Amino acid sequence: MKFYGYFRSSAAFRVRIAMNLKGITPDLAFIHLRRQEQTSPDYTRINPQQLVPTLVLDDGTALAQSLAILEYIEETHPEPPILPKDPAGRARVRSLAMIPACEVHPIQNLRVLGYLGQACGQDEAGKQAWARHWIDVGFTAYEASVAGHPKTGRFSHGDTPTIADMCLVPQVFNAKRFGNDLAKYPTLMRIFDTCMAHPAFDRAQPSQQPDAEP
Ligand SMILES: N[C@@H](CCC(=O)N[C@@H](CS)C(=O)NCC(=O)O)C(=O)O
C-alpha cells in the first residue's frame, strides 16, 4: 500500500493514527500542499479531488477521503477496533467524528482560506478569525456531546480510541495554530491529552513526520 499525505494535513493525521494503532506500515509519498503539489497532473490522476490523503492499495485502487479510508482500514484490519460493536455506539462515534471532519475542517481548509483571501478580500487576520469562529462552533458542540455523557470514558467513547478521537485530535492541533481559547472545552481537552499520551497518536503528529518542516 502507498499512503499520500502531508505532515500538516489534519485528514492525513487521522489516518496515520489508525494505521499506527493497527500496525499498518504503507510506503509513504509526500504531497507538499503549500507548493500546490496536490494540483499536479500526476497526483490529480491518483486523486481527482486534489486533496490528501490518498491510500493506494496493492492492486492500484486509490481510496480518497479520510473517513472512507478509516472505515476501509477498520474493515480490513479489525484489531484493535476503532468503532464500537453496538450500532448505537457506532452511530455516536461517527456523529462525533463528523463534528470536526464535516462541520469544521472543510470550512477552514487551505483552499477555502485561500479563496477567502483571493476572492473575498480577507487579510490574514480575517481568515484566522473565520477559522477560529467555526472551530469554536464545532468544539462547543463536541464539548456538550462528551461532557457528562454516560458513554464518554477516557476517550470520546469508552476507554479505547475510536474514529471520533482520530478526527478530534488533528482539529485541536489546528485550533492551537489559529489561537482558539481551548480552556472553554475541559472535557474535549482532557480527551485530547489522553490521546496524545498514546503512542499511536504521538507518532502520528505533524512534527514526527519525515516531511515535517518548522
Ligand atoms: N474531507 C477530506 C478532506 C481532505 C482535505 O481537505 N485535505 C486537505 C489537507 S488536511 C488538503 O488536501 N488540502 C489541499 C487544499 O486545500 O488545496 C478528507 O477527509 O479526506
φ and ψ at residue 155, rounded to 5 degrees? -110, -175
State mean pLDDT over 60-71.
98
Distance 115 CA to ligand 1 centre (A): 14
Structural contact between residues 13 and 168, judged by C-beta atoms closer than 8 angstroms: no
Of the pLDDT bands very low, low, confident and very high (cuts 50, 70, 90), residue 204 is very high
Show the cell assigned to 94.
461517527
Of the pLDDT bands very low, low, confident and very high (cuts 50, 70, 90), residue 133 is very high
Q: How far is CA 130 from CA 15, 77, 136, 137, 178, in A?
A: 26, 38, 10, 11, 10
103: left (phi over 0), alpha (psi -120 to 50) or beta: alpha
Nearest CA to 37 out of 2, 3, 1, 4 is that of 4
Please give the pLDDT value at position 147.
Answer: 98
pLDDT digits (tens, 9 = 90+) for 13-38: 999 999 999 999 999 999 999 999 99
Query: Which residue has the CA at smallest separation from atom 19 of ligand 1?
Result: 66
How much is the mean pLDDT over the chain?
98
Show the cell assigned to 127.
481568515
**How far is the C-alpha of 33 from the C-alpha of 113, rounded, in Å?**
13
Distance 50 CA to ligand 1 centre (A): 8
Beta-bridge mates of residue 54: 4, 64
Is the CB of 15 within 6 Å of ligand 1? no
Structural contact between residues 19 and 73, judged by C-beta atoms closer than 8 angstroms: yes
Please give the pLDDT value at position 167.
Answer: 98
Q: Which domains, from first to last, does the chain contain?
A: 2-80 (3.40.30.10), 87-201 (1.20.1050.10)
Of the pLDDT bands very low, low, confident and very high (cuts 50, 70, 90), residue 101 is very high
Residue 199 DSSP code: H
